[in-house]
Structure 1
Amino acid sequence: MQFIPSVLLALPAGHVADQFERRRIVLLGQIVDLVAIAVLAALSLRHAAHEASILALVFVIGVAKAFEFPAMQSMLPALVPPPLLGRAMAVNASAGQAAMIMGPALGGLLYVAGPGVVYVVCALLYLAAVLLMSRLRYEQAQPKREPATLKTLFAGVHFIRARPDVLGVISLDLFAVLLGGATALLPIFAKDVLHTGPWGLGLLRAAPAVGALLMSLWLARHNLERRVGTLMFASVAGFGVATLVFAVSTWLWVSLVALFALGAFDMVSMVIRGALVQLDTPDDMRGRVSAVNAIFINTSNQLGEFESGLLAAWLGAVNATLIGGIGTLVVVGLWMWMFPTLRQRQKLHAEPNELSEPAADTL
């Protein structure tokens, strides 16, 4: 219910993010989230929550999130100087990874008191987010108002097509996620390959998040100052190698190390990719470009898990993961050849001689 609006509303949401003050868009979206979760909490406390009401509220949250994402992504470059954007994105990512690790555990503890209590705590946290966002100092140039037409809605697509570096970064992310869906098969590996129980599966699920968290903390303290293009490709290749090691491992500790490395490599490439997209995009286009990026991210996550499950059903989990790892390495090699300026990129914030020439737009 959240995936559908995140894809269908992405382009209109990107247009809105470039037409209005982004802080207010995010604030309004968070208020909608807060109200929806508060209603869900009230229904749960009264034991009146039914499947239809839950799905409807989740859909409302999905709509709000669809508008929040491009606006929030576009805000960060205006809040920090360009040389520090990579570190800022790493800090943001570390907060997200910490929430992914701690959230389920805290949710499980709170659930002992009942689902209504969980939703009440969530509503209070959203209230804190709304208050913090309302006090955020954010300066944005007066947006140039344009009517919503097919041309303006698809302007982000045209921009990405015309910028080889941006196209290379976003498409690399798409195919890496499509092929590297090993984590979707963790229950099969835990039971049939590693012969471990629920505690082992829990460790396997936590390992990538822990690796990503520790790497994001390191990146938050260290600037990526040179050869970022090579580093990005190397990190995606490392992701592929870690996937291969996990596929052939029959020892739990080796699998944990491989998944830890997988999460760390993914974090490096994610920070570089995110910073490159934002820094190579002018401010008046960031919302629409972020919206297109959101479509790639959301669809690749869903299709990647589907592809992994389908291959596992046909060829087995090990062979499916091996194919994914090999495919990731092939994609890295192809993209290094197809996007030479991206491979040669030295800094996150491109020097004038590093900027790729816009490709001819035939649309």
Structure 2
Amino acid sequence: MPDLRPETRLMHTGDRESPHGAVVPPLYQNSLFTFEDWDAIDAAFDDRTNAYLYSRLGNPTVRLAETKIAGLAGGERARLYASGMAAISAAALHGLSAGDHVVAVRNVYGPASTFFDGYLREKMGVTTTFVAGDDVGQFEHAMTERTALIVLESPSSAVFGLQDLAAVAALAKARGVRTMIDNTWATPLFQKPLAMGVDLEVHSCSKYLGGHSDLVGGVVIGSADDLTSISVRETELLGATMAPFEAWLLTRSLRTLPVRMRQHESSGLQVARFLEGHPRVRIVRHPGLDSHPQRALAERQMTGTTGLMGFALDTDDLAAIKRFVDGLRVFRIGVSWGGHESLVYAPVISMLKELSPERFAALGIVPGDVRISVGLEHPDDLVEDLDQALALARM
């Protein structure tokens, strides 16, 4: 359905192939597939990425969700995984060999940062250089003869900084270096990195793509050649594939993605503007605000914004920050985001346990930084909740 708009494509792509005209495609909750004869299963082994042999390799329910996501992102194929980190590690390992070098955005997702700078260094001798990412020259300066991969996340975790995706992708291609991006914040609805030249796009499906806080998953999107290679290597051998039931839930969620994202965007901007005008807030980090230092770049490479943002209270006193977080009545305290419910999290809770004060400061955040995910509640209720909790922080 190449000529249909995203709302219609997400609703109907692949669904009409359901048996008996079922409006909801069935859940194929089976581990293996049987064949009529020797020749049939022999042929399936010759085409493992397209045939159905065993659900670790492929499943009709999983394939349907993959097809919808690939179409939305403008990719030729997609592969679903059991978590966002499984998708990140599969995409990264696809382009790396022992002793290679990686250039990554400094504020990439925390476990991904540990994967590159800890796990891959210890296991494969892969080294990583982190850059702020707001200037393409930083990537060029950090590259070495062994650089094999550039890792992007735009907007990035905690500080919501952007990278010029087209410029970085062009630089990488000129040097024969592969690129991958975590595009979870914007979703493929509001940002299409593959069209800007990025090689692989990854998402945590647990966030906006799932949208209901009831599944954990990840996805890698890219060219047919890349995804075929990933499927027969990292996917088949490491085995962290998504189960059919989670894929069935994900397909359900994709049908409402455009409607949900419009509400997340609208409510998120209302909340961000309220916070920006509040005397107890130092700064609000949201690419949809005119005050964002990269607002022009956001308008150039994104078609919308979402409900995840950061802001800094006017204090770094942990007691005051705790009063604010504990005083919220509608926002719930949690580590994830992108679901129907509004969430609050203070990065200082975990970062002071995991990072040195110097590394914490190097990320560009302070103890008073707070992250909120604006859900689908009425935005006026969210504003009122934040207002009364901010008053508590003054006590």
Report the TM-score range of the alignment, normalised by the length of the smaller protein. under 0.3
Between Structure 1 and Structure 2, the one with more helix by share is: 1
Between Structure 1 and Structure 2, the one with more strand by share is: 2
Normalized against structure 1, the TM-score is what?
A: 0.26
